[in-house]
Structure 1
Amino acid sequence: MRERMRIISIHMIGFWALLSLLMLSGCEHEFALSEQVGEEEVFSEKVQLEIFARANSYHLPSTKGLMDEGTVGKNPWMFVFKGEGPNATFVEAVQAFELAGKRYVILTKQSNDSKYQLLILANSPDRFYYGDAVTEYGFDETGFSAQLMQGLTTLADFCTNMLTAPLAVPSVSVIPYSGNGQVIPMSYLLEVDKIDHTTKIENTDGTPLMLTRAIAKMVIVNKATNFELKGVVAVMNVPRQGPFHTLDGLIRDNTSNLTEYRNDAAYSSLLVQADFIDGGESTENDPVYLYESDMRNNTHLIIQGAYGGRDYFYKMAIVNKDVQLMDLQRNHSYQFTIVTAKGPGYDTVEDAKASKPSNTALDYEISVDNRDSYEVVANNDFFLGVSNSVFIAYTSEGANFEVFKLITDCRTRFPNACRISDNGNEVGIGVPLLVNPSNGARIPIVDDTTSDPNITAVEAQISNGLLDHAYITLKLGTLEKTVRIRQRYAIPAAGVTIKYMPAADSSDSFDMNYYCLSAYVEDGADDPKSWIKLRPSVGAVREDTDKITVDDGTIYIEVLGNTMSKQRSGIIYLTTIKDPGVSSNTNSVQRIKLNISQLSQTVVTD
Structure 2
Amino acid sequence: MRESKRYITIFFYLILLLFMAGCEHDVSTIGQENEEEALKEKVQIEIFARAKSYSLPPTRALESEVGKTPWILVFKGQGAGATFIEAVQAFEMISKRYVLLTKQPAGNKYQLLILANPLDQFYYGNASTGYDFNQAALLSKLTPGVTTYGEACSKLLTKPLDSNPLTTVPYSGDEETIPMSHRLEVDQIDNTTKIANTDGSSLLLTRVVAKIVIVNKASNFILKGVTAVMNVPRQGKLHDADGILMNNTTNLTEYRYDAAYSLPVVKAETIATDVQSTEKFPIYMYESDVQNNTYLIIQGTYDNKDYYYKMSLLNSSLQAMDIERNHSYTFTINRAKGPGYDTVSDAKTAKPSNTDLDFEIMVDDSESYEILANNDYYLGVSNSVFIAYYSGENMEDYDAFSVITDCTKDFQDARTITDNKLEVSGAFQLSGPFKVPIVTSNGTNPVITPVTVGVTNQLMGYEEGIDDKKNAYITLKLGNLEKKVHIRQRKAISAGGSTLKFMPTNNTDPVVSEINYFCLTGQVEEGTDNPKEWIRLYSSVMPEGHTGEDHIIVEDGRIYVEVLPNTNATPRSGIVHLTTMASVGGVSLNSVQRIKLDITQLGQ
TM range (shorter): 0.7 to 0.9
Structure 2 matches for 1:126-525, cutoff 5 A?
Answer: 126-278=120-272, 280-397=275-392, 398-429=395-426, 433-437=429-433, 441-467=434-460, 468=463, 469-503=471-505, 504-525=507-528
AA aligned opposite 1:338: I
User: C-alpha separation between the residues in 2 aligned to 1:216 and 1:247?
Assistant: 17
User: C-alpha separation between the residues in 2 aligned to 1:356 and 1:332?
Assistant: 26
C-alpha contact 1:523 1:529 (8 A) present in aligned 2: yes
The reply on whether 1:45 has 2:41 as its aligned counterpart is yes
- Aligned with 1:556 (options 537, 551, 560): 560
User: C-alpha separation between the residues in 2 aligned to 1:12 and 1:286?
Assistant: 50
Q: Post-superposition shift, 1:463? A: 3.4
Relative to structure 1, is the Cα distance of residues 272 and 113 closer, same or farther in structure 2, using a 3 angstrom cutoff?
Answer: same
The gaps in structure 2 that reach 5 residues or longer are 1-9, 464-470
AA aligned opposite 1:330: R
AA aligned opposite 1:443: V
Q: Secondary structure at the match of 1:172?
A: coil
C-alpha contact 2:381 2:402 (8 A) present in aligned 1: yes
AA aligned opposite 2:367: D
User: C-alpha separation between the residues in 1 aligned to 2:391 and 2:308?
Assistant: 53
Q: Secondary structure at the match of 2:80?
A: helix
AA aligned opposite 1:570: G
Structure 2 match to 1:598: 601
Structure 2 match to 1:5: none
AA aligned opposite 1:76: P
Q: Secondary structure at the match of 2:39?
A: helix
Q: Post-superposition shift, 1:399? A: 3.0
Relative to structure 1, is the Cα distance of residues 519 and 366 closer, same or farther in structure 2, using a 3 angstrom cutoff?
Answer: farther
C-alpha contact 2:214 2:330 (8 A) present in aligned 1: yes
Structure 2 match to 1:119: 113
Q: Post-superposition shift, 1:184? A: 0.7
C-alpha contact 1:407 1:456 (8 A) present in aligned 2: yes
C-alpha contact 2:404 2:446 (8 A) present in aligned 1: yes
Relative to structure 1, is the Cα distance of residues 111 and 77 closer, same or farther in structure 2, using a 3 angstrom cutoff?
Answer: same
User: C-alpha separation between the residues in 2 aligned to 1:424 and 1:344?
Assistant: 59
Farther-moved stretch of structure 1 (442-451 vs 112-121): 112-121
User: C-alpha separation between the residues in 2 aligned to 1:480 and 1:332?
Assistant: 24
Q: Post-superposition shift, 1:538? A: 2.7
Structure 2 matches for 1:5-154, cutoff 5 A?
Answer: 16-17=15-16, 30-31=28-29, 37-63=33-59, 66-112=60-106, 114-154=108-148
TM score, norm. by length of structure 2: 0.88
User: C-alpha separation between the residues in 1 aligned to 2:157 and 2:555?
Assistant: 23
Deviations 1:204-226 (A, max 9, x none): 34332221111111112223333
User: C-alpha separation between the residues in 2 aligned to 1:586 and 1:560?
Assistant: 40
AA aligned opposite 2:551: K
C-alpha contact 1:78 1:119 (8 A) present in aligned 2: yes
- Aligned with 2:571 (options 563, 567, 570): 567
Deviations 1:111-162 (A, max 9, x none): 3464432211111112222222222221123433443333443333322222
Q: Post-superposition shift, 1:104? A: 0.6
Farther-moved stretch of structure 1 (138-147 vs 214-223): 138-147
User: C-alpha separation between the residues in 2 aligned to 1:413 and 1:15?
Assistant: 50
Structure 1 match to 2:467: none
C-alpha contact 1:215 1:289 (8 A) present in aligned 2: yes
Relative to structure 1, is the Cα distance of residues 532 and 344 closer, same or farther in structure 2, using a 3 angstrom cutoff?
Answer: farther
C-alpha contact 2:41 2:103 (8 A) present in aligned 1: yes
User: C-alpha separation between the residues in 1 aligned to 2:548 and 2:220?
Assistant: 42
Deviations 1:198-249 (A, max 9, x none): 2221233433222111111111222333333222111111111111112212
Deviations 1:349-403 (A, max 9, x none): 1122122222322232322212121111112222111111111122333332211
Deviations 1:376-431 (A, max 9, x none): 1112222111111111122333332211111122222222122111122332227x
C-alpha contact 1:224 1:280 (8 A) present in aligned 2: yes
AA aligned opposite 2:177: V
User: C-alpha separation between the residues in 1 aligned to 2:190 and 2:386?
Assistant: 37
Relative to structure 1, is the Cα distance of residues 29 and 168 closer, same or farther in structure 2, using a 3 angstrom cutoff?
Answer: closer
Deviations 1:522-551 (A, max 9, x none): 223333323322222331466782211111
The gaps in structure 1 that reach 5 residues or longer are 1-10, 22-26, 602-606
Q: Secondary structure at the match of 2:459?
A: coil
C-alpha contact 2:26 2:88 (8 A) present in aligned 1: no
Structure 2 match to 1:4: none
Q: Post-superposition shift, 1:46? A: 1.8
Structure 2 match to 1:3: none
AA aligned opposite 2:127: A
Q: Secondary structure at the match of 1:360?
A: helix
C-alpha contact 2:538 2:548 (8 A) present in aligned 1: no
User: C-alpha separation between the residues in 1 aligned to 2:129 and 2:252?
Assistant: 18
Q: Post-superposition shift, 1:181? A: 1.6
Relative to structure 1, is the Cα distance of residues 512 and 141 closer, same or farther in structure 2, using a 3 angstrom cutoff?
Answer: closer
Q: Count matched residues.
A: 575
AA aligned opposite 2:179: P
User: C-alpha separation between the residues in 1 aligned to 2:479 and 2:264?
Assistant: 45
- Give the CA RMSD over aligned residues: 2.9
Relative to structure 1, is the Cα distance of residues 434 and 29 closer, same or farther in structure 2, using a 3 angstrom cutoff?
Answer: closer
User: C-alpha separation between the residues in 2 aligned to 1:275 and 1:28?
Assistant: 44
User: C-alpha separation between the residues in 2 aligned to 1:543 and 1:232?
Assistant: 45
Q: Post-superposition shift, 1:291? A: 0.8
Q: Secondary structure at the match of 2:354?
A: coil
C-alpha contact 2:121 2:133 (8 A) present in aligned 1: yes
Structure with more contact order per residue of length (Cα contacts < 8 Å, sep ≥ 6): 2
Relative to structure 1, is the Cα distance of residues 317 and 444 closer, same or farther in structure 2, using a 3 angstrom cutoff?
Answer: same
Q: Secondary structure at the match of 1:189?
A: strand
Q: Post-superposition shift, 1:505? A: 4.4
User: C-alpha separation between the residues in 1 aligned to 2:445 and 2:321?
Assistant: 24
Relative to structure 1, is the Cα distance of residues 369 and 172 closer, same or farther in structure 2, using a 3 angstrom cutoff?
Answer: same
User: C-alpha separation between the residues in 2 aligned to 1:29 and 1:234?
Assistant: 43
Q: Post-superposition shift, 1:509? A: 4.2
C-alpha contact 1:28 1:106 (8 A) present in aligned 2: no
Farther-moved stretch of structure 1 (190-199 vs 68-77): 190-199
Deviations 1:236-292 (A, max 9, x none): 111111111122121122211111111111222211112223463222111111111
Deviations 1:454-480 (A, max 9, x none): 222212223344355321111111111
Farther-moved stretch of structure 1 (536-545 vs 498-507): 536-545
AA aligned opposite 2:36: E
C-alpha contact 2:58 2:279 (8 A) present in aligned 1: no
User: C-alpha separation between the residues in 2 aligned to 1:179 and 1:14?
Assistant: 38
Deviations 1:74-130 (A, max 9, x none): 111112233443343333222111222221111222334644322111111122222
User: C-alpha separation between the residues in 2 aligned to 1:517 and 1:145?
Assistant: 27
User: C-alpha separation between the residues in 1 aligned to 2:133 and 2:503?
Assistant: 40
User: C-alpha separation between the residues in 2 aligned to 1:288 and 1:20?
Assistant: 40
Relative to structure 1, is the Cα distance of residues 341 and 569 closer, same or farther in structure 2, using a 3 angstrom cutoff?
Answer: farther
